[in-house]
A = this chain, B = another copy of it.
């Protein structure tokens, strides 16, 4: 989940200086439009790792935006005034009215996280607190509020570095306390509980964005861009809704006039998504895929030897799993010609064909279309002990359907939570779930496409669609990055496979499968007959 925020993304000073003024202007413009429309409040929550720039970002936004319509609130231990009321009283009290923006620091997410990490509350209380938070946010979004949540992240190493830097300078050394160091020592516990909080509370209406906090320039521009874009989007949706309502009320002809007027109004306040403006995609130059060393290779001999060894090991584990009734699900995603099929065949070769099934996922059948998009995957879940391999999977919703526009934005956005929930049910019931993204570079794909053209028996594999998909290469890479951000959880992590060398990829797939199976069989697996 946090891997996407440890990419080392940076914005050089000159670039920041060039881009910041434009963005600042944009922010002021949307703030003005928000105030004019006066239809909904904007609630922005900052949480995350200490030292990742929560406070600095809030200060910057205060500098960049119009402070008259901006409320900033940070919360410490409750005052006696506050203690004497229900816990959320202080948050309700501070909510921005319609047309205004509120920035919230160490707010309603602080207590669940801190108290859980320090063992002050148990699981029941932790879940109750999260329920309360979710209900609170839902009451606000149902009423029209826009809620944006930023999780500012630093890796454990980066946090230490940051503390050291602060401590060195006598002017900032006071900012690092003993408590900070104590918390640093239990960084992993923070991260684990943070992941649970983010998964639970990342609802379709109030999702989290995880921000790489190491570079101030990068994080500032990213946060500001998201705020600008999300407010703009909501403003437009609101205007469309108002137009539709007017249409329904006054009949079509009058509404056309309204629409014309509205468009006119937009001209005096130009929409900020114009081409010159900074976009989030431009900003995020790197994705998790850039962290892969695509030159990793195996020699023919290494390959032969390792493949054989791991296949033998896999076969043994497979038989044990059958006996213990531990099911396994593998899913493969990746660009066209990444070698998914080849990898799958090497896995299957080590398995008992009676206990293993490969499900190729193409366009849904009529029956499948008439059901929920997850239904077609539920129906293929196999009996205990078996292995099911999905060649492409439920991630189609947030990959091809997203990039090609087959799913509306609100549909694919909420799919992350739905998928996490689905996968949690799989792992909860004791299933070993392996998720592989086999990656190749754009050049490698081109070489493979060209090679396919040459070889008669591989020509059928190459379609016009493959060439079309190539044009959206960068969109797919960003989609993959979002997938890892939202769905690579402790229970169901993604395995990213360097696929330029087919041999290396195949061995890595089988090797990681073996090691997960080994883990699962060693531990006291949550039994499938729990219910």
Contacts and interface: CB of A to CB of B under 8 A. Distances in A.
A373 B143 contact: yes
Nearest to A90: B378
Contacts of A382: 85
Contact of A124 (B83, B127, B139, B253): B127
Interface in A230-287: 244, 247, 252-253, 255-256
Nearest to A200: B131
A429 B81 CA distance: 14
Given A86-B431, A135-B421, A418-B139, A374 B92 contact: yes
A401 interface: no
Contacts of A143: 372-373
Contact of A92 (B93, B128, B378): B378
A164 interface: no
Interface string A15-32: 000000000000000000
A13 interface: no
Interface residues of A, number: 65
Interface stretch (A95-103, A494-502, A506-514): A95-103
B383 A93 contact: no
A204 interface: yes
Question: How many identical chains are in the complex?
Answer: 2
Given A89-B378, A325-B84, A529-B83, A370 B425 contact: no
Contact of A372 (B78, B95, B379): B95
Interface string A371-402: 11111001101111100000000000000000
A132 interface: yes
A135 to B, nearest CB: 5
A38 interface: yes
A403 to B, nearest CB: 21
The 5 A-B pairs at the shortest CB distance, nearest first, are namely A84-B384, A97-B370, A92-B378, A252-B252, A86-B429
A407 to B, nearest CB: 11
B99 A370 contact: yes
Nearest to A244: B244
B124 A371 contact: no
Contacts of A128: 127
Given A139-B421, A327-B84, A421-B139, A379 B252 contact: no
A531 interface: yes
A87 to B, nearest CB: 5
Given A244-B244, A247-B247, A252-B247, A371 B89 contact: no
